Amino acid sequence: MTLSVTFVILATVFTVCLIASNIFVPRTWKVWSLPLQLTGGVVIFPVSYIVNDVLTEVYGYKKAHLVIWIALALSAFVALMSQLVTMLPAPMYPENQAIADSFNSLFRLVPRTTVASLLAFVVGSTLNALVMSKMKVATKGKGFCLRAIASSLVGEFMDSLVFFPIVFIGTMPFIGVVTIMLTQVVVKTLYELLILPVTSRVVKKVKEIEGIDTYDMNISYNPFKLF
């Protein structure tokens, strides 16, 4: 399997977005004067779905799904390493203890968010790529914007449906979990709508650079089949 520089760059961006969003999730924030709450992950997580759309549109489902599994594996590695760091002995100087405590309180939540992310991302990103792939074949490559929105709506809804109950049940009221889940889906979709013109240009440019436009004909959509 030959991987181009452009593909590697997109895969790297995708992976960084996933790892960063897992770290940002515990930081919740109120949406200005509205009675709504979001997580810090909403700042960067939608970018991963945009990159997923580009990967699927240009390179096809198989390569997009390979990137998803690579990102999940590296996310799990970061979660494991963060736990090892929180278990290290106390700092030599007492004045550094407050920093250590803050660090530990944040990164002790990372395994929980990573487990939730592993489950949610397999479901959400797989469905996002699958819908994008099947719609492209059905429409003979037309209507990229519609395909991008439809696939992201399906993927982000299923991702949130799995992710937020695992992360926040027990830490906030049930209605709060439902509210934050639905709010995230709406905000992420609006995010994608706003940046859709940029996404379309990126897709067009990547197709020109790579000289390919993949159609997934007669392939297996088994999410556990990497090669």
For residue 162 the two structure tokens come to 């799995």
d(CA 117, CA 124): 10
Three-point CA angle 160, 132, 39, nearest 5°:
25
pLDDT the model gives residue 133: 92
> Residue 1's pLDDT is what?
59
Instruction: Tokens 């905000």: give the residue.
Output: 187
Q: Which candidate, 144, 162, 148, 152, places its Cα nearest to that of 189? A: 152
Confidence (pLDDT) at 181: 82
Mean pLDDT by 10 residues, the chain (227 residues): 87 91 81 77 82 92 89 87 90 91 81 76 83 92 90 86 80 80 82 87 93 89 70
Q: Which residue, 218, 22, 213, is CA-closest to 109?
A: 22
d(CA 41, CA 27): 8
d(Cα 120, Cα 162) in Å, to the nearest integer? 5
Position 80 scores a pLDDT of 86
Cα–Cα distance between 69 and 67 in angstroms, integer? 5
